[in-house]
């Protein structure tokens, strides 16, 4: 156990849960750890010393070679439906060091991803490659800049070891920071392999950690379920509004806190199409862009099944309560998405025809194979020469309807445009730019492109001159863009 003045302040609560929910385990040491990138802004937010974090002792901790004072490392057990099939799972290549308390009293999980084999590795090597870890770092920080709830990345370190995937790759470990790593799959695990009392302990723990206000409710477990529904309805709407495709919405990748987690085969949509899929293993399009709200509801149904005995002693009544609560997801999601879409078009208030106006534009975009982000960016900036869609008669008819709708608000153009800028990112992590940056880092040890993207994505709504080059469309190619899970 190493003592440094880094600022770690571990107060661990997960370890108090039933022992079957985790395995106490230290990370597997690595040969020659070396810092690749450290998130100095996040370190400061956590109350950590950047100088000490980047020292040799700090790097030893981030690599899993040393355990910081107060940490109680463990691998979490959970289950999950992966592409619809139930599996017993767990942290197969991650170790939770513990829960760090910030100077302002916030609690965050500190997890090392790629830190070696665990009892849940299922034949895997427990390691991670540099490229996928840098990808998670980059995308999660971009999501944070887009104001979307997300886990964050504190650091990536190289291990000095080589791992085998489809080829030999440099190994790396990511330090992930999360409100917690409680998942729908955590509740599925205890429902399948635990007891009623253990399920109650887990639910009480989740409530106290994330939704303590529901303790005042007459039916706290039902109120807890409703809060998770609200968080997920808001989160998925935010994904849809920026064209984010998660790629692997298994129940073990849906958090109770409402944070986005696991940035494996994710990507941002260029050409607008509801059937957009990037994951190399999503052969049936289960998690395509247009399906994400439905899959979120499906996942929440699995959470309902897992806590059913807590909702009511009578199974029939419990099922009725769960169904009634779950039925609110679609309404909540639609409200969040509709309000977000109206913001993207500068609209306020509710007028007859608002939904049709949005739908008509999206239909035109899909039919015209228009770029999702740049369509709204161009509307925000009144750039009508940049896209073929804008030259069509169908779009001109739609544009006239839009302008007539805006007149009802009796607002200045400046006010409307400011609202649109707040809802429409000028830039997103374009897949080709992400791949260029990752390739430079992985092959040439050149982090300049990654640092460049990280800097520009701190405020994707800025609409600065410097951001214009990042809004350029990807090169034309016959090959569809594919992403991979990294394992």
Residues identified as active-site: 252
Length of the chain: 487
Q: Which residues, 6+ apart, have CB-to-CB distance to 93 below 8 Å? A: 113, 114, 115, 116, 117, 118, 121, 124, 125, 126, 127, 128, 487
The SS3 assignment for 342 reads helix
- Other residues' Cβ atoms within 10 Å of the Cβ of residue 388: 10
Q: Among residues 214, 320, 73, 193, which one has the least CA distance to residue 203?
A: 214
**182 bridge partner residues:** none
Q: Among residues 179, 147, 211, which one has the least CA distance to residue 457?
A: 147
CA distance 305 to 213: 23
CA distance 477 to 438: 19
Q: If DSSP states are collapsed to H, E and C, what string results for 301-324?
A: HHHHHHHHHHHCCCHHHHHHHHHH
CA distance 294 to 472: 32
Q: Among residues 31, 345, 273, 3, which one has the least CA distance to residue 157?
A: 31
Q: Which residues, 6+ apart, have CB-to-CB distance to 484 below 8 Å? A: 132, 264, 265, 279, 280
Over its C-alpha atoms, the chain yields an Rg (Å, rounded) of 23
The SS3 assignment for 353 reads coil
The SS3 assignment for 174 reads strand
423 with 347: CB under 8 angstroms? no
In the chain, count H helices and then E strands.
Answer: 16, 11
Burial of 225-246, coded b for 16+ CB within 10 Å and e otherwise, reads: bbbbbbbbbbbbbbbbbbbbbb
Q: Among residues 259, 240, 279, 249, which one has the least CA distance to residue 153?
A: 259
67 with 75: CB under 8 angstroms? no
């Amino acid at each position: 156990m190493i003592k440094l003045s880094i600022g770690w302040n571990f107060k661990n609560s997960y370890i108090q849960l039933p022992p079957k929910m985790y395995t106490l385990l230290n990370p597997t040491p690595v040969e020659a750890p070396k810092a690749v990138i450290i998130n100095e802004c996040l370190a400061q937010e956590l109350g950590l010393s950047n100088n000490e974090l980047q020292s040799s002792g700090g790097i030893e901790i981030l690599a899993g070679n040393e355990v910081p004072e107060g940490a109680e490392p463990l691998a979490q057990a959970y289950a999950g439906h992966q592409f619809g099939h139930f599996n017993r799972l767990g942290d197969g290549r991650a170790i939770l060091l513990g829960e760090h308390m910030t100077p302002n009293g916030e609690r965050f999980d500190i997890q090392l991803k790629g830190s070696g084999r665990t009892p849940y590795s299922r034949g895997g090597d427990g390691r991670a490659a540099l490229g996928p870890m840098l990808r998670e770092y980059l995308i999660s920080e971009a999501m944070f800049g887009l104001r979307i709830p997300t886990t964050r990345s504190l650091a990536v370190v190289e291990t000095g070891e080589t791992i085998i995937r489809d080829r030999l790759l440099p190994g790396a470990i990511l330090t992930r920071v999360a409100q917690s790593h409680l998942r729908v799959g955590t509740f599925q695990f205890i429902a399948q392999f635990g007891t009623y009392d253990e399920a109650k302990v887990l639910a009480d723990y989740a409530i106290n950690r994330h939704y303590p206000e529901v303790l005042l409710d007459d039916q706290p477990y039902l109120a807890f379920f409703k809060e998770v529904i609200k968080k997920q309805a808001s989160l998925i709407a935010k994904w849809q509004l920026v064209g984010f495709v998660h790629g692997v919405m298994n129940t073990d990748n849906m958090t109770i806190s409402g944070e986005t987690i696991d940035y494996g085969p994710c990507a941002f949509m260029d050409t607008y199409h509801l059937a957009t899929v990037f994951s190399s293993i999503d052969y049936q399009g289960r998690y395509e862009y247009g399906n994400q709200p439905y899959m979120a509801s499906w996942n929440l149904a699995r959470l309902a099944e897992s806590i059913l005995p807590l909702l009511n002693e009578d199974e029939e009544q419990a099922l009725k309560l769960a169904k009634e609560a779950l039925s609110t997801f679609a309404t909540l999601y639609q409200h969040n998405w509709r309000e977000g879409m109206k913001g993207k078009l500068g609209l306020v208030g509710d007028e007859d025809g608002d939904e049709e106006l949005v739908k008509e534009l999206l239909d035109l975009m899909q039919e015209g194979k228009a770029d999702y982000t740049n369509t709204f960016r161009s509307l925000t900036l009144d750039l009508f020469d940049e896209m073929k869609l804008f030259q069509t008669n169908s779009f001109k008819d739609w544009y006239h309807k839009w302008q007539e709708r805006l007149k009802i608000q009796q607002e200045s153009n400046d006010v409307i445009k400011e609202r649109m800028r707040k809802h429409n990112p000028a830039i997103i992590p374009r897949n080709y730019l992400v791949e260029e940056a990752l390739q430079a880092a992985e092959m040439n040890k050149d982090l300049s492109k990654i640092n460049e993207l990280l800097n520009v994505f701190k405020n994707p709504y800025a609409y600065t001159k410097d951001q214009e080059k990042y809004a350029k469309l990807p090169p034309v190619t016959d090959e569809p863009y594919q992403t991979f899970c990294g394992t």
